Structure 1
Amino acid sequence: MNITQALRRAVQQAPNLPATVFGERSRTWRESVDRVARFAAALRDLGVAAGDRVGVLALNSDRFFEYLFAVPWADAVLNPINVRWSVQEIAFALDDSGTQTVLVDDTFAGLVPELRVACPGLVTIIHCGDDQLPQGTLSYEELVAANAPIPDAHRAGDAWAGIFYTGGSTGRAKGVMLSHTNIVTSALGSIASGVFMEPGGRLLHAAPMFHLADLAGWIARSILGGTHVILPSFVPATALAAIERHRVTEMLLVPTLVQALVDEPAAAKTDLSSLRHVMYGGGAITEVVIDRAATVLPGCEFTQA
């Protein structure tokens, strides 16, 4: 089992179907696999070797989606960083995992000088945003353009897929090492339950993509094919507009965000009929909130994870 098999199958089955929608930018599965293979080549050219860790400190985006596939494609290990952490906490996770290469977007580009000081082992910083290239970083888009695609390394089985740091609520965060088999088996179990996703659907990424909860949705939707509709972060009105515009079929939220979504005044004026499944978790949900959600989204099933 390996994560990148989902990408290879999707491009085989539906190469011209949109894989990602991010703002006004949409890319097919064919375009996505080409960019993934090119960025993987760039990582190898930068010295990333088998088993090396590659971090990302960024809000949700289509480039985050590509990172999740490109790192294992290059035979390396994912290390998504919690965007809510301080520089000291970020530096600890990078040092603790031995991460020498990290991607940053526009939101976190201003932290680059501090990260350089706090994390002396950091060798390469890649800017994966759209704004001006920060000093001391490499351009993600230039790396993709400058490199020819390479074959998938087929990193698989018990090999690490990623290191995912816990919240650190009772002490320092701890890096949880998950294999390709761990992640794919979990996704297949979720798919087999039949309570969240259907083939060819459209998943809304409003929860943070650095978190394992959203990553579980990402790999399951990729295995099933369909489209990833990506928002940088959760804003109720923006999420509602995305559901209507892109005919989103499922999303994953924590209970407080479910409440924020259905309490948003725009919900009453938005066509949400495409939405079929909402998975929620991370805390208890009150009967009042779930009843309200069922009223606003009458055609939707709700599943607690």
Structure 2
Amino acid sequence: MSRIVYVNGAYLPAESASISIFDRGLLFGDAVYEVTAVIDGGLVDFHAHQQRLRRSLGELGIDFDPASIDLMGIHQGLRDRNGLDEGLIYLQISRGVADRDFLQPEGLEPSILLFSQALPLIDSPAAERGLAVITREDLRWGRRDIKTTQLLYPSMMKTEAVGGGADDVWMVDNGTVTEGSSSNAHILTADGRLITRGLSHDILHGITRAAVLDYAREAGLEIEERPFTVAEAQQAREAFATSATAFVMPVVSIDGQPIGDGRVGESVRRLRSLYIERSRERLTF
């Protein structure tokens, strides 16, 4: 059965869906997006994702109010039409369609598209073995806090990492780790402190990051929101990444050096289990 997608007000079979070749999302990356996880048929942190979507639209000056359409209903419609019990729903909003010009036109009708992906999120083999990451210089544009579709550089770096036998990349700016190709980066020190870069223009304000930090505080962990170096990460007791697509994902080596004993640590296992448990308690149906 064909996957059903949503494009500008219509549910369509994926093979017959299309957007204009003059869409500014295609021509300029002039678009924002969100990815919402689905587990047990429910949406994870849906409202937090919509709040960030509103912020991203505002930062780019895209004239669209997410409340003007029933985005929750569209997510639910895609879930139901595709029989999605576990996986992801991707939402993208571009500035709209206009002849190619670097000047951002006013008064465009934004283009809206959504699609689903069926993926195993909870029983993830990567969560059992942990990730090997490499580090590379962070050469992305300076407004990494806006969730835009300008993803070419992290895509290049992840492709390089996998081509070299690793799983992902952690990017480094002025000697300190910013984030992964599509995730926030965290370490646990020998004395049990959780260290992660604070919110700024340097990193995406991760929805999963925020939830995990809240749950970690409730569990009694001391949190330090500050930059950390690659050397600190390599000397950490445990390391992990967070994202809507991977939840809490252990990192077991950085640039070939094992983290701790090179195996998934118990603290990260507990954080992952706690995140999944709490997410299940807060699902939107």
Query: Which structure dedicates a bigger proportion of its chain to helix?
Result: 1
Shorter-chain TM band: under 0.3
TM-score (norm 1): 0.26
TM-score (norm 2): 0.27
